[in-house]
Amino acid sequence: MSILVTKDTRVVVQGITGQAGAFHTEKMLEYGTKVVAGVTPGKAGATVHGVPVFGSVQRAVEATGADASVIFVPAAFAYDAMLEAIEVKLPLIVTITEGIPAWDLIRVRRYLEGRPTRLIGPNCPGLTAPEACKLGIIPGYIHRRGGIGVLSRSGTLTYDAVWQLSQAGLGQSTCVGIGGDAVLGSSFTGLLRLFQDDPETEAIVLIGEIGGTEEEEAAAVIKAHVTKPTFAFIAGRMAPKEKRMGHAGAIVSGGRGTAAEKMETLAAAGVTVIDSPAAIGQTVKQTLLRRGVLQK
């Protein structure tokens, strides 16, 4: 099985009539995802790639039984879009939108407390359960079905790592891009536990980057709770201090959050730390062969 989504997940796309929403809806449908509804206020009754458009998430859920949302609305409206999906108790929301103010995300996080909804993102590529369901913008063709769980803060490195794994003959159980903002809906820690509990996942690849404490917190969870082989690559080893590198969360401040610090902490937790992004696929394959997790 996969984590978070299955082939039966029914998806509503918020912002489906926008350029990005329409384009990626088509790609999700081509992959086999059950996109059953779209939402754009004021455009109820329209269709996009055969998908009916509703004026609100509540009406979309009532009419189609959707149980997950992908959000493509502009940053200025993303806060309201997330709250609307949370209010109808959708189990999963994936927010692709970037540039959402941190204060809006803090308020969303507070609103989520005690509610049955899991938020992935924002500013993320989404997630894929290969051969079952794709939510977001990750290219479908790079995947193959298998036993490697992938967790990443970086969109581009997510694609690269997945492609390397597939080329090495290692399929994925689920691939999740959690996003690169300083405030996120879901962290490495909670998702690591889901992979640990997933019987299909045989090993985990974690892709981190400088800034914040996500990787250090993940190391603590891995050391205490994860028994499956775990690998990590940390981007940003050459980044200068006090300078943000790409993502809002990728900044080394006060001497903390460096790549070296994160790599050392992960290694101490028993994680196989990979030095080069180009070596992810082969390192995972050769290590699992040596440990007997894979058969030659």
Looking at the annotation, which residues are catalytic?
247
Q: Are 143 and 31 in contact (CB under 8 A)?
A: no
Q: Are 80 and 108 in contact (CB under 8 A)?
A: no
**CA–CA dist 189, 216 (Å, integer):** 10
Provide the token pair at 185: 């809906």
Q: Are 137 and 125 in contact (CB under 8 A)?
A: yes
Residue 291 — φ and ψ, nearest 5°? -85, -5
Q: Name, in order, each residue with C-beta under 8 angstroms of 160's C-beta and a sequence gap of 6 or more.
A: 277, 280
**CA–CA dist 3, 175 (Å, integer):** 9
Instruction: With residue 104 as reference, give the H or E element that holds it.
Output: helix 102-112
Q: Are 57 and 39 in contact (CB under 8 A)?
A: yes
- Dihedral angle of Cα 268, 270, 276, 279, to the nearest 10 degrees: 170
